[in-house]
Amino acid sequence: MSEPILEVAGLSAGYGRIAVLHGLDFSAYEGEIVGLVGPNGAGKSTFLETLAGTIKPRSGSILFGGRRIEGRSILKRRRAGLMLVPQDQYVFPLMSVKANLDMGGLFNRPDKNRELEDLVRQLFPILEERHSQMAGTMSGGQQKMLAVAMGIMSEAKVLLIDEPSIGLAPQLVTRLFEVLKRFKDETGKTLILAEQNIKILNIADRIYGLEAGQFRFRDKTTNLDENAVRDLFMGE
Protein backbone atom coordinates (compact mmCIF):
# COMPACT_ATOMS: atom_id res chain seq x y z
CA MET A 1 0.00 0.00 0.00
CA SER A 2 1.19 3.54 -0.75
CA GLU A 3 1.97 6.13 1.88
CA PRO A 4 -1.05 7.56 3.75
CA ILE A 5 -2.41 10.87 2.51
CA LEU A 6 -3.20 11.70 6.16
CA GLU A 7 -1.26 10.29 9.09
CA VAL A 8 -1.64 11.05 12.79
CA ALA A 9 0.75 9.96 15.54
CA GLY A 10 0.36 10.35 19.32
CA LEU A 11 -2.39 12.96 18.97
CA SER A 12 -3.80 14.40 22.19
CA ALA A 13 -6.26 17.29 22.40
CA GLY A 14 -9.03 18.77 24.52
CA TYR A 15 -10.75 21.89 25.82
CA GLY A 16 -9.07 23.93 28.54
CA ARG A 17 -8.06 21.52 31.27
CA ILE A 18 -10.31 18.77 29.94
CA ALA A 19 -8.43 16.11 27.98
CA VAL A 20 -10.55 14.46 25.28
CA LEU A 21 -8.15 12.64 22.94
CA HIS A 22 -5.33 10.51 24.30
CA GLY A 23 -2.34 9.64 22.10
CA LEU A 24 -4.21 8.61 18.94
CA ASP A 25 -2.55 7.01 15.92
CA PHE A 26 -4.55 7.15 12.69
CA SER A 27 -4.06 6.92 8.94
CA ALA A 28 -6.15 7.43 5.81
CA TYR A 29 -5.18 6.52 2.26
CA GLU A 30 -6.09 8.08 -1.03
CA GLY A 31 -9.40 6.86 -2.45
CA GLU A 32 -10.93 5.29 0.65
CA ILE A 33 -13.73 5.95 3.09
CA VAL A 34 -12.67 5.72 6.72
CA GLY A 35 -15.41 5.44 9.33
CA LEU A 36 -14.83 6.93 12.78
CA VAL A 37 -17.43 5.38 15.06
CA GLY A 38 -18.32 5.57 18.72
CA PRO A 39 -20.93 6.77 21.23
CA ASN A 40 -21.71 10.38 22.10
CA GLY A 41 -18.81 11.95 23.96
CA ALA A 42 -16.24 9.55 22.53
CA GLY A 43 -14.27 12.40 20.94
CA LYS A 44 -15.22 12.00 17.27
CA SER A 45 -15.98 15.67 16.63
CA THR A 46 -12.92 16.75 18.61
CA PHE A 47 -10.75 14.50 16.46
CA LEU A 48 -12.07 15.93 13.19
CA GLU A 49 -11.84 19.50 14.48
CA THR A 50 -8.24 18.92 15.53
CA LEU A 51 -7.42 17.61 12.06
CA ALA A 52 -9.09 20.64 10.48
CA GLY A 53 -7.34 23.13 12.77
CA THR A 54 -10.28 24.31 14.86
CA ILE A 55 -8.67 22.79 17.96
CA LYS A 56 -4.94 22.97 18.67
CA PRO A 57 -3.41 19.62 19.63
CA ARG A 58 -1.62 19.30 22.95
CA SER A 59 0.85 16.79 21.57
CA GLY A 60 1.44 14.58 18.57
CA SER A 61 1.83 15.13 14.84
CA ILE A 62 -0.49 15.45 11.84
CA LEU A 63 1.01 14.75 8.42
CA PHE A 64 -1.00 15.68 5.33
CA GLY A 65 0.55 14.79 2.00
CA GLY A 66 3.76 14.00 3.83
CA ARG A 67 4.01 17.42 5.51
CA ARG A 68 3.35 18.33 9.11
CA ILE A 69 0.35 20.63 9.45
CA GLU A 70 -0.48 20.79 13.16
CA GLY A 71 0.87 24.35 13.27
CA ARG A 72 -1.02 25.56 10.20
CA SER A 73 -4.16 27.68 10.27
CA ILE A 74 -7.60 26.42 9.23
CA LEU A 75 -7.35 28.41 5.99
CA LYS A 76 -3.96 27.00 5.07
CA ARG A 77 -5.19 23.46 5.72
CA ARG A 78 -8.26 24.13 3.59
CA ARG A 79 -6.14 25.51 0.75
CA ALA A 80 -3.92 22.43 1.01
CA GLY A 81 -6.99 20.23 0.50
CA LEU A 82 -8.27 19.31 3.97
CA MET A 83 -11.92 20.35 4.45
CA LEU A 84 -14.28 19.89 7.40
CA VAL A 85 -18.06 19.61 6.97
CA PRO A 86 -19.16 20.24 10.58
CA GLN A 87 -22.14 18.67 12.30
CA ASP A 88 -23.83 22.04 12.95
CA GLN A 89 -23.85 25.46 11.28
CA TYR A 90 -22.97 23.91 7.98
CA VAL A 91 -24.74 26.22 5.48
CA PHE A 92 -25.33 29.96 5.04
CA PRO A 93 -29.10 30.10 5.70
CA LEU A 94 -29.70 33.57 4.23
CA MET A 95 -27.96 32.73 0.96
CA SER A 96 -29.30 30.77 -1.98
CA VAL A 97 -28.29 27.20 -2.73
CA LYS A 98 -26.26 28.45 -5.69
CA ALA A 99 -24.50 31.06 -3.54
CA ASN A 100 -23.66 28.40 -0.93
CA LEU A 101 -22.11 26.22 -3.61
CA ASP A 102 -20.13 29.21 -4.88
CA MET A 103 -18.79 29.69 -1.35
CA GLY A 104 -17.68 26.06 -1.35
CA GLY A 105 -15.67 26.65 -4.51
CA LEU A 106 -14.36 30.05 -3.45
CA PHE A 107 -10.70 29.24 -4.08
CA ASN A 108 -11.16 27.34 -7.34
CA ARG A 109 -10.69 28.40 -10.95
CA PRO A 110 -13.98 29.16 -12.78
CA ASP A 111 -13.55 26.17 -15.12
CA LYS A 112 -13.00 23.84 -12.17
CA ASN A 113 -16.14 25.17 -10.47
CA ARG A 114 -18.18 24.49 -13.60
CA GLU A 115 -16.86 20.92 -13.61
CA LEU A 116 -17.65 20.45 -9.92
CA GLU A 117 -21.12 21.98 -10.31
CA ASP A 118 -21.86 19.37 -12.98
CA LEU A 119 -20.78 16.65 -10.57
CA VAL A 120 -22.93 18.10 -7.76
CA ARG A 121 -25.95 18.21 -10.08
CA GLN A 122 -25.46 14.53 -10.87
CA LEU A 123 -25.02 13.55 -7.22
CA PHE A 124 -27.73 15.82 -5.75
CA PRO A 125 -30.45 16.60 -8.35
CA ILE A 126 -32.58 18.25 -5.64
CA LEU A 127 -30.01 21.03 -5.30
CA GLU A 128 -30.36 21.88 -8.98
CA GLU A 129 -34.12 22.10 -8.52
CA ARG A 130 -33.68 24.40 -5.51
CA HIS A 131 -30.72 26.44 -6.79
CA SER A 132 -32.42 29.82 -6.19
CA GLN A 133 -34.01 28.88 -2.84
CA MET A 134 -32.66 30.28 0.42
CA ALA A 135 -30.73 27.50 2.13
CA GLY A 136 -32.36 28.18 5.50
CA THR A 137 -35.82 27.42 4.12
CA MET A 138 -34.93 23.90 3.00
CA SER A 139 -35.49 20.77 5.07
CA GLY A 140 -32.78 19.52 7.41
CA GLY A 141 -31.97 16.66 5.05
CA GLN A 142 -31.65 18.98 2.07
CA GLN A 143 -29.40 21.31 4.06
CA LYS A 144 -27.19 18.37 5.02
CA MET A 145 -26.90 17.43 1.34
CA LEU A 146 -26.02 21.03 0.51
CA ALA A 147 -23.30 21.01 3.19
CA VAL A 148 -21.76 17.88 1.70
CA ALA A 149 -22.04 19.41 -1.78
CA MET A 150 -20.19 22.49 -0.53
CA GLY A 151 -17.45 20.18 0.67
CA ILE A 152 -17.31 18.58 -2.77
CA MET A 153 -17.12 22.04 -4.36
CA SER A 154 -14.03 22.79 -2.27
CA GLU A 155 -12.12 20.20 -4.33
CA ALA A 156 -10.62 18.90 -1.10
CA LYS A 157 -8.30 15.93 -1.26
CA VAL A 158 -9.67 14.75 2.08
CA LEU A 159 -13.21 15.54 3.27
CA LEU A 160 -13.85 15.33 7.01
CA ILE A 161 -17.62 14.93 7.52
CA ASP A 162 -19.02 15.03 11.04
CA GLU A 163 -22.20 12.96 11.63
CA PRO A 164 -23.67 13.29 8.11
CA SER A 165 -26.64 11.05 8.98
CA ILE A 166 -27.75 12.80 12.17
CA GLY A 167 -31.40 13.89 12.06
CA LEU A 168 -32.07 12.20 8.72
CA ALA A 169 -34.81 9.69 7.97
CA PRO A 170 -33.51 6.15 7.26
CA GLN A 171 -34.21 6.45 3.54
CA LEU A 172 -32.24 9.69 3.34
CA VAL A 173 -29.35 8.14 5.26
CA THR A 174 -29.17 5.32 2.72
CA ARG A 175 -29.33 7.79 -0.17
CA LEU A 176 -26.66 10.06 1.29
CA PHE A 177 -24.30 7.18 1.99
CA GLU A 178 -24.80 5.88 -1.56
CA VAL A 179 -23.91 9.33 -2.89
CA LEU A 180 -20.79 9.53 -0.75
CA LYS A 181 -19.60 6.14 -1.95
CA ARG A 182 -20.29 7.06 -5.56
CA PHE A 183 -18.37 10.30 -5.11
CA LYS A 184 -15.40 8.41 -3.69
CA ASP A 185 -15.49 5.80 -6.45
CA GLU A 186 -15.74 8.36 -9.25
CA THR A 187 -13.17 10.86 -7.99
CA GLY A 188 -10.70 8.86 -5.91
CA LYS A 189 -11.06 11.35 -3.05
CA THR A 190 -10.65 10.36 0.59
CA LEU A 191 -13.55 10.67 3.03
CA ILE A 192 -13.36 10.45 6.82
CA LEU A 193 -16.84 10.12 8.33
CA ALA A 194 -17.60 10.42 12.03
CA GLU A 195 -20.78 8.38 12.51
CA GLN A 196 -23.12 6.64 14.92
CA ASN A 197 -25.27 5.06 12.21
CA ILE A 198 -24.51 1.39 11.69
CA LYS A 199 -25.04 1.82 7.93
CA ILE A 200 -21.53 3.28 7.79
CA LEU A 201 -20.38 -0.35 7.57
CA ASN A 202 -21.98 -0.54 4.12
CA ILE A 203 -19.67 2.06 2.58
CA ALA A 204 -16.51 2.36 4.70
CA ASP A 205 -13.31 0.60 3.66
CA ARG A 206 -11.89 0.75 7.19
CA ILE A 207 -13.31 1.53 10.62
CA TYR A 208 -11.80 3.09 13.72
CA GLY A 209 -13.75 2.55 16.93
CA LEU A 210 -13.35 5.47 19.35
CA GLU A 211 -14.35 5.36 23.01
CA ALA A 212 -13.37 7.81 25.77
CA GLY A 213 -10.78 9.41 23.51
CA GLN A 214 -8.97 6.19 22.64
CA PHE A 215 -9.27 3.76 19.73
CA ARG A 216 -10.73 0.45 20.88
CA PHE A 217 -10.26 -1.16 17.46
CA ARG A 218 -9.22 -0.40 13.90
CA ASP A 219 -9.60 -2.74 10.96
CA LYS A 220 -10.93 -3.28 7.48
CA THR A 221 -14.71 -3.27 7.53
CA THR A 222 -14.81 -6.77 6.06
CA ASN A 223 -12.90 -8.10 9.07
CA LEU A 224 -15.16 -6.60 11.72
CA ASP A 225 -17.87 -8.26 13.77
CA GLU A 226 -20.96 -6.09 13.29
CA ASN A 227 -22.17 -6.97 16.80
CA ALA A 228 -18.96 -5.59 18.30
CA VAL A 229 -19.47 -2.35 16.40
CA ARG A 230 -23.10 -2.21 17.59
CA ASP A 231 -21.88 -2.62 21.17
CA LEU A 232 -19.60 0.36 20.72
CA PHE A 233 -22.38 2.47 19.19
CA MET A 234 -24.52 1.70 22.23
CA GLY A 235 -21.69 2.61 24.56
CA GLU A 236 -21.52 -0.89 26.04
Give me the phi and psi of 107, to 5 degrees please.
-100, 10
Instruction: Concatenate the DSSP letters of all residues of 74-136 into one string.
Output: HHHHHHHTEEEE-SSS-S-TTSBHHHHHHHHTTTS-HHHHHHHHHHHHHH-HHHHHTTTSBGG
Interatomic CA distance for residues 95 and 86, integer angstroms: 18
Q: What is the pLDDT along the chain (236 residues), one digit of tens a residue?
A: 589 999 999 999 999 889 999 999 999 999 999 999 998 899 999 999 999 999 999 999 999 999 999 999 999 999 999 999 998 878 999 999 999 999 999 888 889 999 999 999 999 999 999 999 999 999 988 999 999 999 999 999 999 999 999 888 899 999 999 999 999 999 999 999 999 898 999 999 999 999 999 999 999 999 988 887 887 765 54
- All domains in the chain, ordered by first residue: 1-81+156-236 (3.40.50.300), 86-155 (no CATH)
The answer to pTM > 0.85 is yes
**Selection from 36, 48, 130 nearest residue 91 by Cα:** 130
